[in-house]
Structure 1
Amino acid sequence: MSDYKERHENEIFTKVLKAGRRTYFFDVRETKAGDYYLTITESKKNFGDNGEATFEKHKIYLYKEDFKTFQEMFSEATDFIINEKGEDVISEKHERDFKPKSFTIDSEEEI
């Protein structure tokens, strides 16, 4: 059996989140024993100097016994970020050619 076929035969459920150059895959898979687990894969599209696209992938395997704690910690961490920085995204800082905007202060202006 091919590696591709074997990897995809045990997929039960899949959701895909496309986010710019990144794509997140949430896959429910089945173990050999017949139980389910979750894999979360981040795939990031990069371009080489020759313009050819490559994909960098990172994967997390999450098993049922860790779901509750993982969910609690995930919620706690995301709530902290939203509470500290708000929901607005500062996306321009992630651009390759980002340069901080310079500004001048009028010497007569009170600071």
Structure 2
Amino acid sequence: MDGYDKNEELEKNGENMREEIFSKVVRAGKRTYFLDVKATRRNDYYLTITESKKRFNRDGRHYFEKHKVFLYKEDFDKFTENLQEVIEFIKKNAPEQEPLEKVETEAGVNAEVSTELETAKAESYSSDVDFDDLGETKE
């Protein structure tokens, strides 16, 4: 979804100025991030960053778990500078990880599993059954 500008629309309709002025959506695997520019009553812009993850109840119905961060104009420079520094640190120093592959579970939900982990499980599984292991004696 591309960004959109709702400021003119809000002025025409006289709606609450806390509506989104501009928005971007970032889909990242199981998470979706919403970057929304909003305005206070005094028309000061601020940013809300919302992380949304789809979760499932025990009965199988889904709901969305959301976390929000509010970022105000006076904090933009410090925030972006430090965010960039942290991202660069991670890119340089994070250990390499094996890519995950998606598999479909019995419930029909996509799950990510490490290929290495699945291989290790498969290699450690043995179908040879020794009745001594079951507590029976051989005569």
- Is 1:92 the counterpart of 2:100 in the alignment? yes
1:65-103 CA distances to partner (integer Å, 9 max, x unpaired)?
1000000110010000000127x765529x56657353x
Aligned to 1:67: 76
Tell me the matched-pair count: 98
Bigger relative CO (Cα 8 Å, ≥ 6 apart): 1
Q: In 1, distance between residues paired with 2:83 and 2:91?
A: 12
* Paired-residue identity, %: 45
1:46-75 CA distances to partner (integer Å, 9 max, x unpaired)?
112221111000000000110000001100
Matched AA of 2:51:
E
Matched AA of 1:74:
L
Q: In 2, distance between residues paired with 1:91 and 1:82?
A: 16
Aligned to 1:22: 31
When the two chains are superposed, the root-mean-square deviation of aligned CA atoms in Å is: 3.1
Aligned to 2:46: 37
Q: Give the TM-score normalised by structure 1.
A: 0.72
CA contact (8 A) 2:23 2:35 kept: yes
Q: Where in structure 1 are there 5+ consecutive unaligned residues?
A: 103-111
CA contact (8 A) 1:10 1:31 kept: no
Q: Secondary structure at the match of 1:51?
A: coil
Q: Give the TM-score normalised by structure 2.
A: 0.59
Residue among 55, 58, 61 paired with 1:46: 55
CA contact (8 A) 2:18 2:41 kept: no
Residue among 80, 88, 99 paired with 1:79: 88
Q: Where in structure 2 are there 5+ consecutive unaligned residues?
A: 1-14, 102-110, 121-139
Q: In 2, distance between residues paired with 1:22 and 1:47?
A: 14
